[in-house]
Chain A
Amino acid sequence: MDHIRNFSIIAHIDHGKSTLADRLIQAAGLVNERDFRDQILDTMDIERERGITIKSQAISLPYVDKQGRSFELNLIDTPGHVDFSYEVSRALASCEGVLLLVDAAQGVEAQTVANAYAAMEHDLEIIPVINKIDLPSADIERVKEEIEIELGLDSDQAILCSAKEGTGIRDVLEAIVTVIPPPSGPVEKPLQALIFDAHYDPFRGTIVSCRLFSGSVRAGDRIRLMHNRATYKAEEVGLFRLNREPKKELSAGEVGYIISGIKTVSDVRIGDTITLEGNAAQAPLPGFKEIKPVVFASIYPVASDDYRSLADALEKYKLNDAALIFQKDSSAALGLGFRCGFLGLLHLEIVQERLEREYGQSLIMTSPTVQYRFLLSNGEEIIVDNPVYYPDPSTIVKAMEPFIRASIMIPERYMGAVMDLCLERRGVNAQFNYPTPGRIEIRFDMPLAEVIYDFYDSLKTVTQGYGSFDYELLDYRESDLVKLNILLNGEKVDALSQIVFRDSARPRALNACQKLKQEIPRHMFKIAIQGAIGSTVIARSTISPFRKDVTAKCYGGDITRKRKLLEKQKKGKKRMKMVGSVAIPQSAFVAVLKTDKKGS
């Protein structure tokens, strides 16, 4: 087992995680130059385009160190985003150490801190790696200071590298074998394998990625998922190279995969423990959590006829994303659709984008919302994650909404703008840290609902891109909530309803009216747009009608030309949603969620 090292790379977004992973893979000689492509572990288009990692990936790298000893380095690539923090925690639980990657020019950012703390919680060996030292703006001394002060790590151990240029890669590899301890775990004890991820393969079913903490597993063994209490026959076990490499046996300390005829990834829960049916472990490994969605929204097909096709697409999508939950939903305005739960906004965007791109769906997504709690006069407490189920206001004794602890790191000069933003978003309980001169960390308690409403974009705008942001869920707090309805020509559009903080209702309503006015094309008749709480209208705008479009001549007997033009328009209209007599373009549903924040 001494020849095995299990590690992960953690970093703030854009600090070069995927590039470093690419270099390590190249250094191991797993792939020749010809087959190499950037971000080799990020297999999805969306990952490569956005430069983010969504799914965990593992790969075993053969390595011969300076003294000629052979090692098996298991790199577990993790999604960096806070939406996927549970997946990250399971990936970290599978390692003995991490490379903490810090951009030499940007320094320590909010997610660097969050990730470093997560690694410390798992008692992992942390190797600080300062990347991008080739940048002219690189400030290695300052970054070292931040590593010392903010993270409390020994910056003398920090390795300098440029993943892009390929410098320092050897040092990184040497540090992995010298600093990170080999895994320990009794092979003779019953099997305990931690599932840190699962992928769907159309030919083989679910491929479970796991780390073995004790015992061993062979192809042909009957295995049991301890939390799910389901048993399967292990058909194949093996290591991850660039492709899967079957082995006779996986044993304690190793990271690999098990294929066992599990149909969908939803049958596997990340963090569950695999043991052997015949020789079961006493207890599962600790740390298992049910993943719970925190952001909810409904999706509808643009054309109602496409409901079945959307249903199929969701089923297929779900094969590879256990975190997404969905159930049938119906809206008076939008017809049949699905209410979905997401881990966060990024997760929501990813699901939407992948359904559209990979599954060819055209969707309308309603305003995302959080889970509110209401204490009613009959003593009942209800959870509401859909404005449609907002209770009768006269029965509400107490309303509560989820709060988060936000951590924002910025250069000092943006402090005023960010304070304003946070206060405007109902931030309370501010705390300030000054990790290094010129930089500041602001912490606020804030309603999650404020964060899902355009907070990232606003923060980026007011800090000109220099602000970084991370959060953790805190608790539920009492709040004063109302349901804001949007009406088009007097008809309520349920899909545009939002639950909002009372004091924000009017600005939100005005914004929605304004946005809809921009997005809905002129019709043949006047369209009145209203924002209302109950029967009280608090905002309005009007779209004046177009009053002429007729073409003078219908060309002789050429009716076909006219009809073809109409057929084209008819197709375009299919991409609109009819509410009463008003056709609403897909873009309008998204637009109401955005504010027009000008840069400071």
Chain B
Amino acid sequence: MSPGVYVHIPFCRSKCPYCGFYSVPSKRPVPIWFEGIKKEIRLYKGLFGRFDSLYLGGGTPTFLDDAILSCLTDHLFAHFDFTADREFTIEANPCDLSAEKIRLLKELGINRVNVGIQSFDDGALAFLGRRHTGREAENSLKRLRRLGFRNIGVDLIYGLPGQTLEHWEGTLNQALLFQPEHISCYELTLEEQTVFGRLQEKGEMHGLSEEDGRAFFLAAAKRLGEAGYVHYEVSNYARTEAFCCRHNSKYWNRSPYLGLGPSAHSFDGTERWWNVRSVRHYGALLKRGSPPIQARETLTKEQIRLESLALGFRTSQGVALTRMALEPRSTEMLSTLKTAGLLKLKDGRVVPTEEGFLVADSLPLCFFP
């Protein structure tokens, strides 16, 4: 399986109150980061073989100045080997997607844009701390299409306080008007160390109830299913199999990937390692010529099995029966879960149903004593 490259670009115009990813709401440390990235690219040169995916994520990659963005891609292509049919994704904010920016992205060889739409409702967008309006969201998608992007992904969020099921279905319908190749539907989660997380601790904000969470999730599965989308991962839908995100699938398939930038994670097939979080620390380590690695781990057999099941049950690929290492008790468990309508057998693989996706966090441990 070919490896992929991920570059973490931890800068945003402002921090969204729900986002738990590492990012800095300023451009000031960009030079430190960029010097670091260039060094880190050289550090891994030749170590990973030929990549077939490149993913610029964040943060807000489109927040970077054009010159830096160009320089970054030049560097990547100069030092790493990529296949001709590579998938090259950038995460984008609707308000950054001016016609000029989009043309630049095309020039840089980017062939997939994943847009952080979240919602088309101005009220919802304001609540989420997004800087774009519903109109801008629509326009950005139109513009991408008009300027020739054939692989567009949109991110949507559901489960905002007070949101009704009808409202969510409305959001889905609006997204479908653009026939995006890829749709990610994320439930709003209130994570620790975010503004929303702190509000939850104080009891001022609540996540969805189990029942509502199910309803929103299943509504998306139903609506997008009707529209012909493939539900290939818990939160991800593709217009056809061909549009499943190649890069993200590497995470779920346990294919190798190289993560560059602060807090990025890497996996070479045996070992996992991850970088330090702070830009400053990251830059300083690379300046000294040291790898900016926070920690690394080599997995035991048991851990590999746990990961394979945990990741596999999040996808429509499921887990190969041969990988399940079933003993009598787990065979019994498998039949219980089949009867309960959570798992099914398909082509020698154990595959979750829609109801199975809903309990995907608990499925792996069923097969461990």
Q: How would residues 536 to 566 of chain A score, 1 for a CB under 8 Å from any chain B CB and 0 otherwise?
A: 0000000001111111111111111011001
Q: How large is the interface on B (under 10, 10 to 19, 20 to 34, 35 or more residues)?
A: 35 or more
Nearest A residue to B6 by beta-carbon distance? A557
Known contacts A545-B340, A580-B332; is-contact A554 B355 (Cβ 8 Å): no
Report the Cα distance A525→B186, complex, angstroms.
Answer: 25
Chain B interface, >50% SS class: mixed
- Identify the closest chain A residue to B208 (Cβ): A548
Q: For the complex formed, measure the closest distance between the CB of A573 and the CB atoms of chain B, giving whole angstroms.
A: 6
With beta carbons under 8 angstroms apart, the residue of B339, B358, B364 that contacts A566 is: B364
- Contact digits for B194-215, partner A, Cβ 8 Å, 1 yes 0 no: 0000000000000000100110
Beyond A558-B274, A581-B332, is A552–B186 a contact (Cβ under 8 Å)? yes
Q: Do the beta carbons of A573 and B365 come within 8 Å of each other?
A: yes
Interface residues of B in 147-194 (CB under 8 A from A): 186-187, 189
Contact (Cβ within 8 A) B358 A552: no
Contact A553:B189 (CB < 8 A) given known A525-B336, A525-B342, A580-B336: yes
| Contact between A549 and B366, CB atoms less than 8 A apart | no
Distance in angstroms from B80 CB to nearest chain A CB is 17
Does A558 lie within 8 Å of B359, measured CB to CB?
no
Determine chain A's interface SS by DSSP, over half rule.
loop
Residue in B closest to A545 when the chains form the complex, CB atoms: B340
B336 touches A556 (CB 8 A): no
Q: Is the CB of B359 within 8 A of A524?
A: yes
B55 to chain A, nearest CB (A): 9
Chain A residue contacts of B306, Cβ below 8 A:
563, 566-567, 570
Given A524-B366, A562-B310, are A551 and B303 neighbors across the interface (CB < 8 Å)?
Answer: no
B311 on the A face (CB < 8 A)? yes
B234 near A552: Cβ-Cβ < 8 Å: yes
Any A CB within 8 A of the CB of B282: no
In the assembled complex, B139 has its CB within 8 A of some CB on chain A: no
List of B residues within 8 angstroms of A578 by Cβ: 329, 369
Nearest Cβ on chain B to A155's Cβ, whole angstroms: 64
Q: Are A550 and B266 in contact (CB under 8 A)?
A: no
* A244 in the interface (beta carbon within 8 A): no
B contact residues around A526 at 8 Å (CB): 340
B285 interface residue (CB < 8 Å to A)? no
Bound Cα distance from A458 to B23, whole angstroms = 60
- 11 of the cross-chain contacts (CB-CB < 8 Å) are A304-B369, A546-B359, A547-B355, A553-B186, A556-B251, A556-B259, A557-B259, A558-B274, A563-B306, A567-B306, A580-B336
The smallest C-beta distance from B310 to any residue of chain A, in angstroms, reads 6
Say yes or no: A560 contacts B251, CB within 8 Å.
no
A:510-525 near B, CB below 8 Å: 524-525
Assess the A551–B189 pair: CB atoms within 8 A: yes
> In the complex, which residues 350-386 of chain A have their Cβ closer than 8 Å to any Cβ of chain B?
none
Is A282 engaged at the interface, CB distance under 8 Å to the other chain? no
Q: Which residues of A are found within 8 Å of B213, using beta-carbon distances?
A: 548
Known: A551-B361, A557-B259. 18 other contacts (CB 8 A): A524-B366, A546-B210, A546-B362, A548-B358, A549-B358, A552-B189, A553-B186, A557-B251, A557-B267, A560-B265, A560-B272, A566-B365, A567-B303, A569-B365, A570-B306, A570-B368, A578-B329, A580-B336
- Give A372 Cβ to nearest chain B Cβ, in Å: 33
Q: Does B360 contact A (CB under 8 A)?
A: yes
Known contacts being A525-B337, A552-B235, A560-B265, is A547 close to B303, with CB within 8 Å? no
**Closest CB in chain B relative to A80 CB, distance in Å:** 44
**Residue contact B210 to A548, C-beta cutoff 8 Å:** yes
Whole-angstrom distance between the alpha carbons of A375 and B57 in the complex?
79
Q: Nearest residue in B to A574 (C-beta to C-beta)? A: B369
> Residues of A contacting B110 with CB < 8 Å?
none
Min CB gap A192→B, angstroms: 57
Contacts of B297 in A (CB 8 A): 560
Q: When chains A and B are docked, how far (Å) is the Cα of A559 from the Cα of B314?
A: 12
Contacts of B234 in A (CB 8 A): 550, 552
Whether, in the assembled complex, B257 has its beta carbon less than 8 Å from a beta carbon of chain A, the answer is yes
Q: How far is the CB of B199 from chain A (nearest CB, A)?
A: 18
State whether B257 touches A557 (Cβ < 8 A). yes
Inside 8 A of A581's CB, which chain B residues have their CB?
332-333, 336-337, 366
* A81 to B19 alpha-carbon distance, docked (Å): 62
The 4 residue pairs across chains A and B that have the minimum distance between CB atoms:
A557-B265, A525-B340, A581-B336, A552-B186
B121 at the interface (CB under 8 A from A): no
Q: Which residues of B contact A489 (CB under 8 A)?
A: 336
Complex alpha-carbon distance, A420 and B365, angstroms: 48
What B residues does A560 contact at CB under 8 A?
265, 272, 274, 297
Q: Does B286 interact with chain A (Cβ within 8 Å)?
A: no
